[in-house]
Amino acid sequence: MYKKNYTRNFVTQEAIELIHEKSLYLLKNKGIRFCSEELLSLFKKKGFKVEDEIVYITEAEVNDSLASCPRNFDYVSRGKKYHVGTIQKEPIGQSSLGPVNVLQEGVHRLAKASDFINFVKLFHTSDTIDIIDCELLHPNDVPPQYKTDFMTLTPMIYSDKPLAGLNGSKEICHRTIQLAKDFNDIHDQVLMSTLITSAPPFTWDRLMCETIIEYAKNGQCCCIAGVGLAGLTAPPSLSGAIIQNNTERLAGIVATQLVNPGTPVVYQFCALETDLRYSLCVCGGAETSVEWFVENELANFYDLPKRAHGCLSDAKQDDYQSGRESTMVGLSALMCEPEIIYMLAGIMDSFNTLGYEKFMLDEDTYKICKRFMKSVDFKEENLYMDKMEKVKHSSNYIARTTKTYRNDFVFPEIANRKAYTNWEKEDASISVQERATQAWKKRLEEYVPLQLDKSQKKMIEELLPKELIFN
């Protein structure tokens, strides 16, 4: 993928080298706590300095681990294949992750299994979403004993796009990976990625250690993030928080390669900032973008594939705040030229809510941001010199819409650009939010179910009760 390095204007090479130097110092002298006997045993076996649960990591050990991370890999499903890395031409879009609530037609409520299925269908039919996360939201009405199977199988029932798998305990990780292998009948390729986060400061907790082990053992992609919050779980400055998060991230990367050298790794940007007025994490501030620009240059420094977030917002409604934050954050993500952009559309309320209308609005926003990042094409056939020579003075160029015109301009589906009087007359003065509601409902109505084979149908019937399977 051709890189224009937009973010280099926001941070110097000297600053990147300083961050790396300070991270190496902390890794060697302070060490990182790993809450896993299995990982600690591996560290000892490989000659790392270990004291109790603290692992000390040298520069040479970091370099060896970075060298073993692949720069390119294929990300597949039964229906799709994407190339991730330096040979990639366009960013890959990924669905939401983690919300417990939904916002539907202005009503804020707990997410249900039916919402989970609805969003899988919306993601499947989206031309901006390429990867669907098994944790796209938390269906609060699914019994605990079925939750792992439901959240893993449902995206594969209603879509053939690649998955991002569940993280957590060894049992959950093993289960979600095995279900994906069996359902797709693909056993030796990268079928899944997952978000793996530190427990700051300077700790990797038991569940994330188990996630590293299971995903690395199975050769699945590990998206490694340091998630210290400036002023809470990281120093009260952006520079200090960046150094700590990078230190924790490097330690996590080392752990993946310790378990299985060659495990695909993605350098995950941190999208968490702090508003100490409320002691809460936020994601829609300018600081989010600024931190990403630095982290992007760090990922480039380490020559690793990277993942940014999409149109994030802390807003509670589809309002001015939502649009402002989603546009700023979405544009910032594209400026980083990442291989993957996740939580691309629909996220609001500081990751806690997935909005139906916001999802449709964010698709438009993302397309507009992508157009913003394209330059003007001055190829000879685009200049239309012959037309300019022939056109009469004070006339116009109105004619059949050309391919060049369609390539140069983006036309939002939800936004209303009509004249006020036409909006009143033709659209009955409906709001943008109402247009978004109509759009997602129409998309669900037009969804075409996928064909499943006998073995896939048998898996579903054996593992999920009928009341959790919707048409």
Q: What is the pLDDT of residues 14-33, one digit of tens each?
A: 999 999 999 999 999 999 99
Residue 442: CA atoms inside 13 Å, Cβ hemisphere, count?
9
pLDDT > 90? residue 399: no
Can you read off the two tokens belonging to residue 350?
A: 């500081």
What is residue 470's predicted lDDT score, i.e. its pLDDT?
64
Q: pLDDT-derived band of residue 299, with 50, 70 and 90 as boundaries?
A: very high
What is residue 191's predicted lDDT score, i.e. its pLDDT?
97
Our CA angle for 274, 278, 283, nearest 5°, is 35
Reply yes or no: is the peptide bond before residue 201 cis, omega within 30 of 0.
yes
Mean pLDDT for the stretch of residues 143-163: 97
Q: pLDDT-derived band of residue 403, with 50, 70 and 90 as boundaries?
A: confident
Q: pLDDT-derived band of residue 448, with 50, 70 and 90 as boundaries?
A: very high
What does the mean pLDDT of the chain come to? 95
What is residue 2's predicted lDDT score, i.e. its pLDDT?
59
Distance of alpha carbon 83 from its chain centroid, rounded? 16
Mean pLDDT for the stretch of residues 444-468: 94
Q: 1-471: which CATH architecture? A: Alpha-Beta Barrel (3.20)
Can you read off the two tokens belonging to residue 175?
A: 């289960």
pLDDT > 60? residue 471: no
What is residue 166's predicted lDDT score, i.e. its pLDDT?
98
pLDDT > 90? residue 290: yes
Distance in angstroms (rounded) separating the CA atoms of residues 322 and 327: 8
Taking CA atoms, 285 is separated from 99, 246, 273, 317, 455, in Å, by: 19, 20, 8, 16, 47
- Enter the DSSP assignment of 110: E
